[in-house]
Amino acid sequence: MLEQLTQLFRDSYGREPIAITRAPGRVEFIGNHTDYNGGTVLGAAVDRGIWVAVAPREDGRRRWRSGETGAVIETGAALAKLEGSSSWTNYPQGVISAMGEFGLTVPGGFDYAVHSDLPVGAGLSSSAAIELASALAFLHLTGQEVDKETLVKIGRKAENDFVGVPCGILDQGSSGFGEKDKLVFIDCRGPDFSTVPMPVDTHFWIFNTHTKHALVDGLYSARHAECMAAAADLGVNQLADASLELFQSEVHQLSPTVAKRARHIIEEIDRVGRTVKALGEGDLDEVGTLLTASHRSSQHAFENSTPDLDSLVDTLIRVPNVYGARLTGGGFGGAVMALTHAGFGDADAAEVSATYNSQWGATPQVIHMRAGEGARVMWRG
């Protein structure tokens, strides 16, 4: 990917970049929508991601090129949200905006190119990956360094304030703090970050349905608002502060919809804690049960699943060497993650895909992944 991106940069701008950065996508292992509710979550950086190359310009012009969309886009010093095929620039532009708010020097003119081996729209958070890779590139351009926690906060602020998605810290935190063969545990009230070893011979398989996964269309924002309403009705600052006992005693005060959203979050936070415990004990059957229970809660209580994702989970949990399966990411389409033993292979994945095709008339993209390294500078000129 480094050579491909370097050649893209040369073809676009007729010169060499001065730095190349990379940030991985992430798998949301368990903890669906708990992050912006102050809860706990387990994620993992994956071994695919987004790569960014940059070089400074003296004339103040900012030029952008994506290996996926083709054309060079030019903007001036003023930040402005773009639409259509240029809308991907909103993520790195949001990073520039956030850098200023963190008291950092923002880059002036530059040439920028981005390439990806991470599927877009699969619930793997390509948005967080481009934010963190861009932040590292812009920091290099301006001769600055920040710690990992500040880096992920810059990415989150870019998405919250400039792009307009009220996400929590899961996506950026997993991409920033990822380590090979480890999960990232985040207590979002800090936020505090630590890692949990993945059991030996376990793998992630992603089944990307290619169905709609556009968080900025309002569905994510609606769930966010419902959770905030639930916290207010329960008399707590955020749902992480509400115990199951409090919820059960006060549920009559909540509307049926808000009650379902609250139940999902409160029980999901409990499932995260139980998953960490089961991982520590090497009880992968229990981990799988908790993953599938998380999906059922998303399906029935949080209602951010879709019938095709539900059918994928139904199929996967019947296959040998699958511990459990659940939607990964914001939901409303996208992808299902299965945690498997090493005995689950390409032939098994093909059978799952064939079953899905017979039900839905489409073939999901199958991606075999392991937990990988977090965001970093890959090359300096």
Contact 56, 106 (CB under 8 A): no
Q: Which helix (H) or strand (E) holds 44?
A: strand 40-57
348 is catalytic: no
SS3 label, residue 376: strand
CA pair distance 54, 5, nearest whole angstrom = 10
CB atoms within 10 A of CB 290: 24
The helix/strand count (H/E) of the chain reads as 11, 12
**Using omega within 30 degrees of 0 as the cis cutoff, is the peptide bond preceding 56 cis?**
no
CA pair distance 67, 57, nearest whole angstrom = 21
Residue with tokens 């005060």: 253
35, 47, 171, 308: which is the annotated catalytic residue? 171
Q: Nearest Cα to 321, choosing from 351, 297, 298?
A: 351
Type of residue at 370: R
Buried-exposed string 52-78: b where 16+ CB fall within 10 A, e elsewhere:
bbbbebeeeebbbbbbebeeebeeeee
Residue with tokens 């950092």: 104
CA pair distance 84, 267, nearest whole angstrom = 39
Greatest pairwise CA separation for the chain in angstroms: 67
DSSP class of 81:
-
Q: H/E/C letters for each residue in 133-189?
A: HHHHHHHHHCCCCCCHHHHHHHHHHHHHHHHCCCCCCHHHHHHHHCCCCEEEEEECC
CA pair distance 119, 206, nearest whole angstrom = 11
Type of residue at 224: H
Indicate which residues carry an active-site annotation: 171
